[in-house]
Amino acid sequence: MSLRPRLGFAAVLTGLLFLSRFYPLPALKDAVTGLAVCDAGLYFPPLHLFFTPFYSLADLVACNSATQDIAFLFYLLLGCGLIFRLKRSLKSLALYWLLVAVFLAWAALIPHDFSGLRLNDPDILAVDFHSHTSHSWDGRATFTPARNLAWHKRAGFDAGFITDHNKTAGAVDGKALSRLAWSSGQRAYASLEGEELSLHDCHVVALGNSRHIDARQYLGLEGLKKFLNEAGAVHGALPLMSLPEYWKRGWQLREDYASWGAKGFEISNGAPQGANFPEDKRRTIIELCRRHNLFVAAASDNHGYGSAGCAWNLMKIPGWQALDPDQRQRAVLETLRREEFKAVRVIIRNKIEPVYGDMIWVDTPRALWRMARCWTWPQSISAFFWILLIALPRPNSLRRLPIKA
């Protein structure tokens, strides 16, 4: 790109960046009320802060829904056409796609520094109700229970349930690692036990069971009803309805799930298909949980891909830091049973919610604008630095400038 178009592009970006500072937004919001979160914030490691545009874009891709990522790829294709129009060079086009491929691989597959949650109240515990390891059939082969623990700690969680598909081996290993860490003085994080069961037209996350639950004894609709009814008494587990299955396959049964014994519903899920959950459906489930006094939940649903944490569950459990992993698990489950709808406050990143129809094609510009508005001043300054790098003249551009006698 020659000097003049590059300066124009940098000027537009600078103007938008400057404008975003007049319309700032909080980085986090309450998923139920939609209000800004005042008692928690995001911490950005030095590398994340210095490379703000790239790390923020990686966080955005990680937290996008499947349809939003498709729209993002559409804009990458537009960029391909623009590069070819300006350069008329297959070499430049190949370089563009190489950089795109490297960025996407880095964002999705390579562990890197990412923003984590920081809480102001020491009595608040941040917990994840749904995550996976390599023991799940669709879990990343390298995402061991140890790496699951490490990811949760970096994301700012104080506890997290390992809930592999129809298996408990990963959860048992995670709890053993937590007990070992506790005995050696590393007490910031505790891995908790659970399992994600594949039942009739839905997935149910069982929270708190250490022994495998054989889903074959709960076949069909009657089997699902039986499990929801006896999960606590027979298995010592709290049943949580998981996204996207209850929305995609069993939406018409949502009231029945509540009456049959479900104790909570996910209203946010970090997996690409789960993140497609529409905002109006979320409001419906929140009101259902309010009426039936059930807890609402967010799930990372992390299978080992991507790095960013997209949502957190906050629970008030005074003195939780002194609780070992087993005590911490009991405290979480007891609080869910006792407080029910009031037990959990779900906080999520302040991002554009998924849209459908023709609006999906303007999703990416809206998402980038929202991202810039949520930046802090240090992040905006970092972004401005990278814009200046775009504007700096290249040696070839200087040689092409006319020289006056």
Report if residue 167 sits inside a domain: yes
Report if residue 45 sits inside a domain: yes
Total tally of structural domains belonging to the chain: 2
Are 187 and 322 within one domain? yes
> In degrees to the nearest 10, what's the CA dihedral of 127, 130, 135, 137?
-160
Note the pLDDT of residue 402. Answer: 55
Are 266 and 330 within one domain? yes
Report if residue 356 sits inside a domain: no
Rg (CA), the chain: 23
Report the C-alpha gap between 396 and 329 in whole angstroms. Answer: 63
Per-residue pLDDT of the chain (405 residues; tens, 9 = 90+): 566 777 888 899 999 999 999 999 999 999 999 999 999 999 999 999 999 999 999 999 999 999 999 999 888 888 877 766 666 677 877 888 898 899 999 998 888 888 999 999 999 999 999 999 999 999 999 999 999 999 999 999 999 999 999 999 999 999 999 999 999 999 999 999 999 999 999 999 999 998 999 999 999 999 999 999 999 999 999 999 999 999 999 999 999 999 999 999 999 999 999 999 999 999 999 999 999 999 999 999 999 998 899 999 999 999 999 999 999 999 999 999 999 999 999 999 999 988 777 778 889 999 999 999 999 999 999 999 999 987 776 666 545 555 554
Are 82 and 141 within one domain? no
Note the pLDDT of residue 93. Answer: 78
Report if residue 38 sits inside a domain: yes
Q: Is the peptide bond before 393 cis (omega within 30 degrees of 0)?
A: no
State the CATH number of the domain containing residue 265.
3.20.20.140
Are 300 and 167 within one domain? yes
Are 320 and 225 within one domain? yes
**DSSP codes joined into one string, 188-256:** S-EEEEEEEEEETTEEEEEES--SPP-GGGG-HHHHHHHHHHHHHHHH--EEEEPTTHHHHT-GGGHHH
Are 86 and 154 within one domain? no
Are 89 and 178 within one domain? no
Report if residue 364 sits inside a domain: no
Are 207 and 66 within one domain? no
Are 272 and 332 within one domain? yes
The answer to whether the beta carbons of residues 135 and 169 sit under 8 Å apart is: yes
Give the count of beta carbons closer than 10 Å to the beta carbon of residue 339.
14
Are 154 and 83 within one domain? no
Nearest Cα to Cα of residue 152 among 376, 346, 313: 313
State which residues form the domain around 337.
116-349
Note the pLDDT of residue 273. Answer: 92
Are 30 and 54 within one domain? yes
Are 47 and 165 within one domain? no
Length of the chain: 405
Note the pLDDT of residue 56. Answer: 96
Note the pLDDT of residue 403. Answer: 54
